[in-house]
Structure 1
């Protein structure tokens, strides 16, 4: 028995060795569970290599240090003997605060130990207090305002002047330039807006609890009950029963007076805040300094895109109606708003995903990381190198650390990969900046440090973590943010990497999704994690086509959401019209399916809080990314010349150059609403043609 066990062990060892022999070291590392590290030396370097954070108490030291440094920088900025450019002093002030605030915010969210999360939360509160104090510090505001209005006494560049104006705008967001009584009103409005937003978001996710008597008898059996109440916890978008989908939509989205009051007050307070700060509407305030610059430009873009989308979206809805009639046997059935997710998934399964999870074995985490590494090397000449973590450097034992190394420039920065789900960890895929890059006084560069967080399943002894196509897209998306941080080389950390306008920050990450959906890229790494067989050409075609199914109607939905957000934060905010009446009007104009009486889905649309007047940003980012893809990478996704040009003219600048100027210069064409709309329509038509060809070949 013992000998058999030894023989089995030897076979497994030989088998595993043969299985991973064709993976790169990077892929091998990510295809195996992270090694548990035993600290034999007890030489704890602290979280992220910061000696102050060898224990949670280090947050108190960091807080005290930044408070002391803040006072020194304020004195320097307001001194007649100032020897540095004003923008450099402000950028160091921003850098000092961000290094603690960004670090503390991440630790507060992600660290598994309560002592660390509590200390980090206290640090966040302290930094917020310092920022609020700075926002009311008139001497430092006047010093900066004088430099912006009259120029610095030291030589400055156009980038310096642009960043100085950004700092000044940040100041004036809080009304420091206003008379004291009006400034205090702005402070109160900001506080009230924050409270209203928190309450609205909380209410948006609460289940609908309705007395049985108010629920039609035909709907009651679809949902759980508690006593005499029926409880609806969400939209049943994937339910096969059409009545259940309809019931969930009608009942979960019933109007709520409390939510309506919160939304009305939120929009009104935002409008009053904008007026107090000298803007016509809150949308004008939110879009200042953005890629689109003004809400009038956003509306023109939305209208141009809406007009071109309508006939294409109508074709999508007609196909969904045909599917509904075939499924239900009713000749007059038509697609409704509660049907679109269901039939999108149905058609995707029928045409592209005949076998559940058939793509999973071809996308091991290690294989995907290898694919990313090879792509980034082809485009930018960089490599992702798995790096050993020192004792105490990570917040959990399943973290990877990547060094981003350029073939000529050397080390560009570090990416910490927190990829696996765990108890207490937020269920979201996101990118955190821990330290922004900037040029140091001695000419060296402060290296960027970021965290990429995913929620993947832990690898098992029987094999690596496998990614669905959607998870693959998310990995490339978040690594796109990370590369924006790594490849930027700005003078000032205040505008490095993703610290740019909201409607431009998503461009690099969305562009990476185009690479993740290109068969030429997938072909380089999509292979079975056990047999190493490459994914078949038929599977590749189906996979890439499935990502663009019903693109016209899905884009039309995003146009509708964006238009509604703009309407709420535009002039209509002061008219007192109910948010549902506004919704009905906007939906009739911008969406191909009608409004459903006695529903109010906007009262569950929490993005109105976080993206107030900026929901359009993803749509514009996708449009710009599509334009860049078509112009530079569609012909050859591994084009080094195009990659280096993209880095030099887009990624390297972060927010140091106005994003509208960056895009226009890079694409050598004025970024008009019409040009943007045409770019996205071209992509939709191309994808639709590919889908039709595939449908013909498969039938």
Structure 2
């Protein structure tokens, strides 16, 4: 019932670009910079207003900001681009340790345990009050009380979860893990506490209670009710015990499936002459005694499939890299059967039925099936054309070839891409226009244009951040003032995960006067609790909050993690230069952040990205369209040395290259989403359940290219089946929706549609600001002005699928 929400993250890797050192610039303080001209301050010429249609244009960088905002804008670029400026800006001489994230409980590692104990005391007080509720007024407050209970626990769980995988101190990691375990154990106790479930049910059944609830409150009540149902809290004790056993076993088996998956054949050993066409340096590194020792699951194997000329060698590599061990497949099927039993115990027809009832727009497997079939039909013509191109490419080498083999697709796709690459300038030249500071500057300008918010660098206090490289930004609204805190940990460190990610450490929530008074009284009487200066500070554990219109709100506290390379030169003024792929990645993760920033709801259960799971990737995927838009890039993209504007043809070339076989890639994702649904269907409970037969069957029916040959078992490597079980279609669903929003709301970027404030307000007011506090189908119907979507269901899902996922 009460849970911390961890959103799926997409793991990607980057290739850094070497660059020349830059001449040193003037040192801090900031007042010396406001007169410097590093951005174009004049209005754009009329011809520049249609840049998005002209790939040969050079992008201007207009600025219409007031002087103070321009100064903030320039400081923003400087603190990310020039390490010595950040060092001077962030330097604090002396000062008191304020604790991690300005939470004074976290001044030292063991403070996590104190914070957990204090939080559990607060939580137990809320639980006692909910269980004792008897009057209409008390029942009306139950949703707010349960939301507060969730917030108390999530303040520890979300923060500790981030720290235990990111903080450079092992001791701090360990203490955060212990705090997480302590609170998670209590949360599991709550999930099987029948009294909370029964009290919520009484409240929801009383019209005098529900009539006083807002739309947001009702949405929270439904989420909490479903969470109880999924935890089998309404079942007799022996079934609840079995539910707990199954949940534990599913977690164990799922982790083992991901961590222990292995190929049937760990490595291939072949004569080095069989690898003609592969990068000779890569091949040489793998060669011993005239033989190439090729690990089956490796980047080198993927490279060999794209470049080795010998079809027979590629065939051997393909079979090896597409065949998981029997143990991996058996473990996967065991996981599917355990999930099927759990779903049956909870009263659902299948695990997919169970998952899709929980904050999912699709709601049923039948609706997902309608979406995927419609999407497959929409995508199929282009996928077939792409396969025909590959066959034509093969026939240039072998005129008698009548068909493609499975091991041909990557090889001939690469051949076509290489020709396209040679027709443009090197991609590493593009990175010269994307220094990290310039990109952060551009994101702030974009959000100012669309939503009236901007990023302002803030000097971190002693103990506030976990590493000197971390930049703190305050998010400032032109109407609401300070609305969020954003910590940016964007540079590579050896002890840091290379995976880009967005963390919401604390969600938006309205804090009542009664809550502030209660926490204040507790802090005066409990020696373990910190005594803060004022009740509102105590209610926020010392972290950021706002006071507007007589209400107090905790501000969203967000962390962005990336792994961009800092300069390898000794110059203090050398900025980090991003590839276009890294630019897209940062825009994507910032899309999650802007969702958390704009969806400042009164209840944390539905704040920010805590919306329908199959809607959560829409804002982030949409941001990838902005990353490739000419007008948006014209707001900021400048050469880091010469300050010349970016020639858009470089971006257009990069985008064409990335999308060259987009339909084929989409088709593969469609088949994997169908596989996810099939494996989590009632079929998992049948004696003849055969995951391999299901996968190959889907490939034969829905694939435009050659299916995997008999004997292969690639699905044994499909690790997302553990974390995304029953919901893998969400990525495709949000990609279709993002394209539709881009086309309908932002006019595909035509006539500077990506920078139109009316368009941004339309997206914010209709969809982004609601988080999970409103029916997402109503949000989509409003933002797209399409009444066919309002009620959701199978027809709406099929309609979305018919729009397609490939871009023109």
Q: TM-score, normalised by structure 1?
A: 0.90
Three-state SS of the structure 1 residue aligned to 2:712 is coil
User: Does the 8 Å CA contact 2:680/2:725 hold for their aligned counterparts?
Assistant: yes
User: Which position in structure 1 is the counterpart of 2:100?
Assistant: 47
User: Does the 8 Å CA contact 1:234/1:248 hold for their aligned counterparts?
Assistant: no
- Offset at residue 597 of structure 1 (A): 2.4
1:112-170 CA-partner distances (Å, limit 9, x unpaired): 00010000111111111011111121212211122123356472123212211211211
User: Does the 8 Å CA contact 2:263/2:324 hold for their aligned counterparts?
Assistant: no
User: Which position in structure 1 is the counterpart of 2:365?
Assistant: 295
Superposed, which structure 2 residues align to 1:305-320 within 5 Å? 305-320=375-390
Three-state SS of the structure 1 residue aligned to 2:485 is strand
Query: Structure 1 residue 434 and structure 2 residue 491: aligned?
Result: no
- Offset at residue 42 of structure 1 (A): 4.2
1:632-653 CA-partner distances (Å, limit 9, x unpaired): 1024111111111211111111
Superposed, which structure 2 residues align to 1:576-587 within 5 Å? 576-587=688-699
Query: Structure 1 residue 467 and structure 2 residue 575: aligned?
Result: no
User: Does the 8 Å CA contact 2:377/2:802 hold for their aligned counterparts?
Assistant: no
Q: Gapped runs of 5+ residues in structure 1?
A: 1-9, 688-699
Distance between the aligned counterparts of 1:518 and 1:229, measured in 2? 44
2:78 corresponds to which of 28, 37, 52 = 28
User: Does the 8 Å CA contact 1:85/1:152 hold for their aligned counterparts?
Assistant: no
Three-state SS of the structure 2 residue aligned to 1:444 is strand
Distance between the aligned counterparts of 1:311 and 1:85, measured in 2? 55
- Offset at residue 616 of structure 1 (A): 0.1
Deviates more, 1:114-123 or 1:527-536: 527-536
1:209-232 CA-partner distances (Å, limit 9, x unpaired): 3697xx899979976789999742
- Offset at residue 347 of structure 1 (A): 3.6
Distance between the aligned counterparts of 1:201 and 1:448, measured in 2? 32
1:372 corresponds to which of 428, 443, 450 = 443
User: Does the 8 Å CA contact 2:374/2:799 hold for their aligned counterparts?
Assistant: no
Superposed, which structure 2 residues align to 1:233-244 within 5 Å? 233-234=297-298, 236-239=301-304, 240-243=307-310, 244=313
Query: Structure 1 residue 123 and structure 2 residue 179: aligned?
Result: yes
Superposed, which structure 2 residues align to 1:493-508 within 5 Å? 493-508=604-619
2:226 corresponds to which of 164, 169, 176 = 169
- Offset at residue 249 of structure 1 (A): 2.4
User: Which position in structure 2 is the counterpart of 1:615?
Assistant: 728
1:393-446 CA-partner distances (Å, limit 9, x unpaired): 110010111111111111110110010111121111110011100122252221
User: Which position in structure 1 is the counterpart of 2:11?
Assistant: none
Q: What is the alpha-carbon root mean square deviation over aligned residues?
A: 2.8
User: Which position in structure 1 is the counterpart of 2:54?
Assistant: none
Query: Structure 1 residue 603 and structure 2 residue 655: aligned?
Result: no
Q: TM-score, normalised by structure 2?
A: 0.79
User: Which position in structure 2 is the counterpart of 1:588?
Assistant: 700
User: Which position in structure 2 is the counterpart of 1:209?
Assistant: 266
- Offset at residue 363 of structure 1 (A): 1.0
User: Which position in structure 2 is the counterpart of 1:140?
Assistant: 196
User: Which position in structure 1 is the counterpart of 2:777?
Assistant: 660
Deviates more, 1:545-554 or 1:189-198: 545-554
1:670-699 CA-partner distances (Å, limit 9, x unpaired): 232343133226x53xx2xxxxxxxxxxxx
Deviates more, 1:336-345 or 1:226-235: 226-235
- Offset at residue 540 of structure 1 (A): 3.3
User: Does the 8 Å CA contact 1:238/1:341 hold for their aligned counterparts?
Assistant: no
1:485 corresponds to which of 577, 592, 596 = 596
Distance between the aligned counterparts of 1:533 and 1:229, measured in 2? 47
Query: Structure 1 residue 447 and structure 2 residue 589: aligned?
Result: no
User: Does the 8 Å CA contact 1:20/1:28 hold for their aligned counterparts?
Assistant: no
Shift in alpha-carbon separation, 1:323–1:361, aligned structure 2, 3 A: farther
Structure of higher RCO (CA pairs closer than 8 Å, 6+ residues apart): 2
Distance between the aligned counterparts of 1:183 and 1:323, measured in 2? 59
2:803 corresponds to which of 679, 682, 687 = 679
Three-state SS of the structure 2 residue aligned to 1:531 is coil
User: Does the 8 Å CA contact 1:219/1:247 hold for their aligned counterparts?
Assistant: no
User: Does the 8 Å CA contact 1:283/1:569 hold for their aligned counterparts?
Assistant: yes
User: Which position in structure 1 is the counterpart of 2:296?
Assistant: 232
User: Does the 8 Å CA contact 1:452/1:478 hold for their aligned counterparts?
Assistant: yes
Shift in alpha-carbon separation, 1:32–1:538, aligned structure 2, 3 A: same
User: Does the 8 Å CA contact 1:495/1:654 hold for their aligned counterparts?
Assistant: yes
2:161 corresponds to which of 96, 105, 111 = 105
User: Does the 8 Å CA contact 1:99/1:434 hold for their aligned counterparts?
Assistant: yes
Shift in alpha-carbon separation, 1:643–1:133, aligned structure 2, 3 A: same
User: Does the 8 Å CA contact 2:625/2:742 hold for their aligned counterparts?
Assistant: yes
User: Which position in structure 1 is the counterpart of 2:205?
Assistant: 149
User: Which position in structure 1 is the counterpart of 2:401?
Assistant: 332
Three-state SS of the structure 2 residue aligned to 1:195 is helix
Deviates more, 1:664-673 or 1:426-435: 664-673
User: Which position in structure 2 is the counterpart of 1:88?
Assistant: 144
Three-state SS of the structure 2 residue aligned to 1:680 is coil
Three-state SS of the structure 1 residue aligned to 2:460 is coil
Shift in alpha-carbon separation, 1:578–1:20, aligned structure 2, 3 A: farther
Distance between the aligned counterparts of 2:350 and 2:273, measured in 1? 46
Distance between the aligned counterparts of 2:426 and 2:267, measured in 1? 39
User: Which position in structure 2 is the counterpart of 1:624?
Assistant: 737
User: Does the 8 Å CA contact 1:324/1:333 hold for their aligned counterparts?
Assistant: no
Superposed, which structure 2 residues align to 1:344-355 within 5 Å? 344-352=413-421, 353-355=424-426
1:98-125 CA-partner distances (Å, limit 9, x unpaired): 0110000000010000010000111111
User: Which position in structure 2 is the counterpart of 1:565?
Assistant: 676
User: Which position in structure 2 is the counterpart of 1:421?
Assistant: 492
Shift in alpha-carbon separation, 1:30–1:206, aligned structure 2, 3 A: farther
Query: Structure 1 residue 78 and structure 2 residue 131: aligned?
Result: yes
Three-state SS of the structure 1 residue aligned to 2:428 is coil
Shift in alpha-carbon separation, 1:656–1:305, aligned structure 2, 3 A: same
Distance between the aligned counterparts of 1:96 and 1:546, measured in 2? 48
User: Does the 8 Å CA contact 1:565/1:612 hold for their aligned counterparts?
Assistant: yes
Three-state SS of the structure 2 residue aligned to 1:384 is strand
Distance between the aligned counterparts of 1:374 and 1:339, measured in 2? 45
User: Which position in structure 2 is the counterpart of 1:648?
Assistant: 765
Three-state SS of the structure 2 residue aligned to 1:393 is coil
Query: Structure 1 residue 267 and structure 2 residue 336: aligned?
Result: yes
- Offset at residue 255 of structure 1 (A): 3.9
Shift in alpha-carbon separation, 1:217–1:168, aligned structure 2, 3 A: same
1:487-535 CA-partner distances (Å, limit 9, x unpaired): 1121100110001121000001011111112122122222211111112
1:578-605 CA-partner distances (Å, limit 9, x unpaired): 2111111011112222122221110011
Query: Structure 1 residue 198 and structure 2 residue 255: aligned?
Result: yes
- Offset at residue 459 of structure 1 (A): 3.2
Distance between the aligned counterparts of 1:520 and 1:220, measured in 2? 45
Q: How many residues align?
A: 673
User: Which position in structure 1 is the counterpart of 2:240?
Assistant: 183
Query: Structure 1 residue 66 and structure 2 residue 155: aligned?
Result: no
User: Does the 8 Å CA contact 1:237/1:342 hold for their aligned counterparts?
Assistant: no
2:483 corresponds to which of 404, 412, 415 = 412
Q: Gapped runs of 5+ residues in structure 2?
A: 1-21, 40-73, 277-282, 514-550, 790-795
